[in-house]
Amino acid sequence: MLQEAADPSVPLFERIKFLGIYSSNLDEFFRVRVATLKRLASLGDEWKDLDIPDPQITLKKVRLLVSQQADDFNVAYAKMKTDLEDNGIRLINEKDVPGSLKPYMRDYFRRKVSPHIYPIILKATAKLPKLKDLPMYLAVKASKSSGMGRPMHALIEIPQHLPRFIPLPVVGDKQLVMYLDDIIRFGLDDIFNSFPYDHFESYAIKFTRDSELAFDDDFTESFYEKLADSLKAREDGLPVRANFDENFPKPFLNLILRKLNLARSDSLYPGARYHNRRDLLSFPDFGKTHLYYEKPEPVPVKGLMTKPGDMFAAIRKQDFLIHIPYQPFRNLITLLQEASL
């Protein structure tokens, strides 16, 4: 996937999709494969009875490979942004908002985003609510610019039901786009307006939980019941990975990790400003269809369906091998329709 995303001969929006697919696959790899390796590593020397490689060594290799691939991803992502700019699409953050757009941004945030924001205030002695596996969070540090008083820490879940990429009005010759994360960052002063703070810092963090499906030998339950129970248990799996902004202040990060019992260094993956890049699969194309592969038209099957109602007559004469999607799926639909008459 990363090779395709880095290939300049691949159309731009196809490359963006490949970045999204890679990110989605990596999440599932950690949720299942890495989670299984961590379970095996926790067995001590018992894993030797299973005739498998040392899980601790395998985990180290995984970490090294993921780190190398993260560098490749960032290079491909940077090239993607440059190519978007060359094609009239500019991806901006909350610090790049032109002055003329700030009233529009404020109105959009208050109408479309703010009603879905529910901050979790972090306190040293309070238990942290269970954080979900799929969403991303913004960890917010609110303080006074005067330096007086103690800062406040909070977590904000990025709403999953809202679009991750928000098209903004055109400025000059550029169609502007912004991550939902950055629109929330833009509105932090609105979110915490009931507190006496005027300075806000925010850092992305996400958690990946152990989501391997597990089935026991209880024969009183049907397979459906076992599957339903196992899928439900996915929500309560132990965290196996924490992705976070590499600029995350260490004391603040440690506060969150302690509450999650996720202090092991092999579970921590510092990275870029944005996570959950699987959402690139839904990046808006603004009608620029020329930046995709051209969709080929299916090739007709020679000798089949020369005229309506003749399909069975043609099949009686010879066999046909249909290659979908390179040849029309419509042939199979017509076959079923004629067979039902």
pLDDT of residue 55: 85
pLDDT in tens, 54-102: 888 888 898 899 899 999 999 999 999 999 999 999 999 999 999 999 9
pTM of the model: 0.80
Q: What is the mean pLDDT of the chain?
A: 85
pLDDT in tens, 270-289: 888 998 899 999 999 999 99
Q: Judging by beta carbons within 10 Å of its beta carbon (0-12, 13-18, 19+), is residue 10 exposed, middle or buried?
A: middle
Asked if residue 225 has pLDDT above 60, the reply is no
- Sequence ranges of the domains in the chain: 2-291, 296-341
What is the average pLDDT across 313-320? 87
Torsion angle defined by CA atoms of residues 261, 263, 266 and 270, in that order, rounded to the nearest 10 degrees: 110
Cβ neighbors of 338 (< 8 A, separation 6 or more) are 309, 311, 312
pLDDT in tens, 163-181: 999 999 999 899 999 999 9
Asked if residue 236 has pLDDT above 70, the reply is no
What is the average pLDDT across 114-119? 94
pLDDT of residue 229: 57
The Cβ of residue 282 has, within 10 Å, a number of other Cβ atoms equal to 12
pLDDT in tens, 194-223: 999 999 999 999 888 776 545 454 545 555
CA distance 338 to 59: 57
CATH class of 2-291: alpha beta
- Using an 8 Å Cβ cutoff, are 166 and 178 in contact? yes
pLDDT of residue 128: 75
pLDDT in tens, 18-38: 999 999 999 888 888 888 888
Confidence of residue 3 (pLDDT cuts 50, 70, 90): very high
Out of 175-184, 251-260, 311-320, 323-332, give the one with best mean pLDDT: 175-184
pLDDT of residue 215: 43
- Using an 8 Å Cβ cutoff, are 155 and 138 in contact? yes
